[in-house]
Amino acid sequence: MNKTIRRASVFALLLVFALLVRATWVQFYEGQALADDKDNRRNAIETYSAPLGNIIVAGRSITGSAPTKGSDLKYKRTYTDGELYAAVTGYASQAYAPTQLEGIYTDLLNGTDSRLKSVMDTLTNQRADPGNVVTTIDPDVQKAAYDALGDKKGGAVAIDPKTGKILAVVSTPSYDPSSLTDANAAGVAWKKLTSDPDKPLTNRALRQPLPPGSTFKLVVAAAALEDGLYSSVDEKTDSPDPYTLPGTTRDLTNENPNAPCTNASIRTALRYSCNNVFAKMAVRLGQDKVKAMAEKFGFNNDKQDVPVRAYTSVYPSDMYPSETALTGIGQFDVTATPLQMAMVSAAIANGGKLVSPHTVSQITNSGGDVLQDYDDDAGSKEIVSSSTAEQLQSAMQTVVEQGTGTNAQVPGATVGGKTGTAQHGENNSQVPYAWFTSYGKSDSSGKEVAVAVVVEQSNAARSEVSGNGLAAPVAKAMMEAALKD
């Protein structure tokens, strides 16, 4: 064999060897990454080759699967009362990445979760029968919130204070997840939804923090009582009306100029929503103490998972005293979600202890065997003392019985609440946000619920926008549904 042939043979062998090395690398080292690639069509084919598991509310599946025609994706997701539950389920789409519970429990619902596999499934490398997600949602409370919000733009959350179970998560305007499930039609629906100025895909209950306005005064009051700045909600404060913001010539006034806000007690200040009292209270406490109390309630927590991750509710740092004063009335850079403000009321209603809020009770396999019980795993922590909680409960009841929150009264129940009207836009140039947070307890059954509602926009005239006028009736409807025998 001459030299030329030998060299050609060696070169050919090197090429074959390189090819074998590359094939081995792709198969054993890059194979999983390629298999998991979102653009790998085989994943979608596998996911939709059989019916998915279901999301369950009160023993009833609110999701399903239906056969498709003329597609290599054999099944598509379906939804019962899709618009009602969209803020809970999210969507599972043949064209887009799943969201909300559909996204978090993708592996469970499509049967690839390792906890679902039997020994035979493992040996044969077969996909297991899909599991199910059992939610904590109460369908009556969910529907009450959805119907009461109606054509308003807003969000609402209801929590059982003793268990942490989230009974309702509602965001309006909503959308029908079914419009996004079929790859052939999803593109048109997606374009329509994403171009809608009302942003129906935004989960306003969990993922759109807004200035909470006067509902945040509950946090400031809690800080003042816990710190010992005031010994009770009926102790007089040193609060001039109007209150001049420190370091400025700007006077902070009250919505009702005739309200008895000069040196008002916490009870009276909550009843009439006196800005001067809580602005000065925040300054006297100092931003660090107010921030510490806010964080105990859940503000500044960037990992608030229920299990959907809620956007962070914020209490700011590094402020001038005048800015600290404005945070005392839930303005400046303070933001909160309805979930966060429902957590504030839940902790107060539960004697100062906050049980971890959650929307999923259990996940199960196809036979109903429990794989994980989130109700048992829900921990709790003390936010304020039972004495402080009892005093705030009493003051919140005064708000509903005799103050700015009378529209939240529920016959046969003890209700405490706090209204809020938050400025919107530069110099409050846009329609304000209307807030209401409350708790209710049935006088006969002892059932309890905590709720928070924000109305971002409605058809009401600007002069008619208030927490009591727009948000409190929604909260009332939710509490009535939750507390009925």
The domains found in the chain, sorted by start residue, are: 41-134+176-193 (3.90.1310.10), 213-483 (3.40.710.10)
- Backbone phi, then psi, for 370, in 5-degree steps? -75, 125
Q: 185 Cβ partners below 8 Å, 6+ apart?
A: 179
Per-residue confidence (pLDDT) for residue 425, from 0 to 100: 59
pTM of the model: 0.91
12-56 pLDDT, tens per residue? 787 778 777 776 666 656 555 544 555 556 777 888 889 999 999
Per-residue confidence (pLDDT) for residue 402, from 0 to 100: 97
Q: How confident is the model at residue 1 (pLDDT cuts 50, 70, 90)?
A: low
**Which range is least confidently modeled, 6-15, 124-133, 194-203, 254-263?**
6-15
Q: Output b/e per residue, 336-368; b: 16+ Cβ within 10 A.
A: bbbbbbbbbbbbbbbbbbbbbbbbbbbbbbeee
Q: Which residue is it, tokens 């081995």?
A: 24
Highest mean pLDDT among 41-55, 60-74, 389-403, 410-424: 389-403
Q: How confident is the model at residue 328 (pLDDT cuts 50, 70, 90)?
A: very high
Per-residue confidence (pLDDT) for residue 199, from 0 to 100: 97
Please compute the mean of the pLDDT values over residues 223-234 and round it to a whole number: 98
193-226 pLDDT, tens per residue? 999 999 999 999 999 999 999 999 999 999 999 9
120 or 317, which is more confident: 317
Residues 164 and 66: their CA atoms lie apart, in Å, by 34
Q: How confident is the model at residue 143 (pLDDT cuts 50, 70, 90)?
A: very high
Q: Is the pLDDT of residue 458 over 80?
A: no
Element (H, E) at 403: none
Catalytic residues: 214
Strand blocks (E) in 309-355: 353-355
Q: Output b/e per residue, 378-408; b: 16+ Cβ within 10 A.
A: beeeebbeeebbebbbebbbbbbbebbbebb
Per-residue confidence (pLDDT) for residue 465, from 0 to 100: 79
Residues 372 and 359: their CA atoms lie apart, in Å, by 13
Our CA dihedral for 155, 160, 161, 165, rounded to 10 degrees, sits at -90
Average predicted confidence (pLDDT) for the chain: 92
For the chain, what is the radius of gyration of the CA atoms?
A: 27
Per-residue confidence (pLDDT) for residue 34, from 0 to 100: 45
Per-residue confidence (pLDDT) for residue 313, from 0 to 100: 98
Please compute the mean of the pLDDT values over residues 256-284 and round it to a whole number: 97
Peptide bond into 161 cis (omega under 30): no
300-321 pLDDT, tens per residue? 999 999 999 999 999 999 999 9
Burial class (CB in 10 A: 0-12, 13-18, 19+), 39: exposed
Q: Is the pLDDT of residue 291 over 50?
A: yes
89-118 pLDDT, tens per residue? 999 999 999 999 999 999 999 999 999 987
Please compute the mean of the pLDDT values over residues 469-481 and round it to a whole number: 97
